[in-house]
Amino acid sequence: MEKKWWHKSVVYQIYPRSFMDSNQDGIGDLNGIIEKLDYLKLLGIDVIWLSPVYKSPNDDNGYDISDYCDIMEEFGTMEDMDRLISEANDKGIKIVMDLVVNHTSDEHPWFIESRKSKDNPYREYYVWRDPVQNAEPNGLQSVFSGSAWEFDEETGQYFLHLFSKRQPDLNWENPKVHEEVYNMMNFWLDKGIGGFRMDVIDLIGKLPDQEITGNGPKLHQYLQEMNAKTFGNHDVLTVGETWGATPEIAKLYSDPERNELSMVFQFEHISLDQQEGKEKWDLKPLNLLDLKAVFNKWQTQLDGKAWNSLFWNNHDLPRIVSRWGNDQEYRKESAKMLATILHLMQGTPYIYQGEEIGMTNVRFDKITDYDDIETRNMYHDRISKGYSHEEIMESIYTKGRDNARTPMQWSESEHGGFTSGTPWLSLNPNFKEINVAESIKDQSSIFHHYRKLIELRKQFPVIVYGSFDMLAEDDENVFAYSRELEDEKLLIVANFTSNKTTFQFTEQYEDATILLTNYEASGVQLDSINLRPYEAIVYKIKL
């Protein structure tokens, strides 16, 4: 496979609202990000994926865009944005923009026009249907609860919204929509950005009348066209958000021969702690064997054919240390263990803000303390369906999106140094112990472990391009694998539990050194090793 710069890059996702507030209005902003570029440089990342900063009424915190070529007032101005791109570029950091083109805000001028009349020139920019027997055209459901169809009195038709009713879906069957989107993408590419993260891109080929939403028949045709008309002749990173992707589907998107995207986010691993066929709120404990099987499948099936993205976290997911680690007694050990096993696989790692200091899930008392539209809608929907308050809150504590969205914890000072105003969402009260200032000072912190993992990726091509072999597939406690490239081999052995365990090697290794661990002294002898809770060891073997 042809080598690409993003094969060896590490991406850091910023959720601007919660990153750093420079003007004390309680909301993070672009100048706040500029202030923190040196921090990101110290961590060693190469790319920032910036969650949406465009003009938006914020029904879904910027994922409802009312002007793609303007900046949200609370975040700053286009001059600030240009400065962010150029100052980041000067430091060797590329900015990847979030491309949200499955839907717009209902305040986008196209939709304002579209809803005016059936013969408005913008009518066909969105998906409008007549009622069927005085009701919704069909049973399509919104991801944010309830029907995906909203009735509009003005013209007596329903419009489609797969997310909130303030996020009407664009009609990709209309070629004019393609043209508008491509012009907008070129506007951003001309500014020197490093690429696009594409929001729910698997939905743009939908066929609403057949109730097909993901992976519609024309999806790949649209992406090839988008590639040809926009980023195809720029050396950029593109990553699609594709919830239902299997390795087969991922290869359609990211086989370099097909000229679509660099890679996709697949969510198979992330869905393993929900009951089969149910919603993410319907919890079940993770089985480590399932997790290993999923990674094994993706690592081996994409090798040499397409490219993996590697992530535990984003702005929609709970904090990994609370989810599959231990955010109490073994917070540091488990956060480092999880980082180690993820970062040393093949693919481009993504770090979500705060993950690098081991930020944890939050537990607010009341539903009104939560901001997230998905969480609030689900709460009211489930209350009306007879679920108990306690049961719903447990789901929110485990899976709610605000777990990821509490402001970044920079220091132990008021509001964690995020703002001296009133933060738009309360901080996690643990900011006094868990914060950036403390993490930088402490050489054994989670932060410095992430920094070393990033350094290792730059140093060892085996991490970027080596083959992958899962070891001890049936071990219920240990996550272990090897990577191999020419005369270099790495062995990664990790205890995924809070109990001690042992691990038996099946091969003999002569020349082994330890590259990285999360405990002070770990065993070098490679026959049988005793692993402490969440212990992770990376061995380098000379072949």
- List interacting residues with ligand NOJ (CB under 6 A): 60, 63, 100, 163, 199-200, 241, 315-316
Residues near 92 by beta carbon (within 8 Å), at least 6 away in sequence: 41, 46
Q: Which helix (H) or strand (E) holds 333?
A: helix 331-343
Q: Which of 60, 64, 241, 355 is catalytic?
A: 241
What's the closest the beta carbon of residue 446 comes to ligand NOJ, in angstroms?
Answer: 24
Q: Which of 80, 169, 199, 438 is catalytic?
A: 199
Strand partners, 491: 482, 539
Nearer to ligand NOJ, 216 or 466 (CB): 216
What's the closest the beta carbon of residue 256 comes to ligand NOJ, in angstroms?
Answer: 25
What's the closest the beta carbon of residue 497 comes to ligand NOJ, in angstroms?
Answer: 31
Nearer to ligand NOJ, 74 or 241 (CB): 241
In angstroms, the CA 296 to CA 475 distance is: 14
What's the closest the beta carbon of residue 57 comes to ligand NOJ, in angstroms?
Answer: 14
DSSP 146-197: SBSEEEETTTTEEEE-SS-TTSPBB-TTSHHHHHHHHHHHHHHHTTT--EEE
User: Six-digit token pair at 4?
Assistant: 């690409």
In angstroms, the CA 45 to CA 238 distance is: 17
Q: Edge-to-edge, what's the strand order for the sheet holding 94-99?
A: 263-265, 237-241, 195-198, 94-99, 47-50, 11-14, 348-352, 309-310
In angstroms, the CA 430 to CA 336 distance is: 19
Annotated catalytic, 303?
A: no
Nearer to ligand NOJ, 196 or 460 (CB): 196
Contact 226, 185 (CB under 8 A): yes
Burial class (CB in 10 A: 0-12, 13-18, 19+), 138: middle
What's the closest the beta carbon of residue 520 comes to ligand NOJ, in angstroms?
Answer: 39
Nearer to ligand NOJ, 312 or 410 (CB): 312
What's the closest the beta carbon of residue 198 comes to ligand NOJ, in angstroms?
Answer: 10
In angstroms, the CA 297 to CA 111 distance is: 42
Annotated catalytic, 199?
A: yes
* Active-site amino acid positions: 199, 241
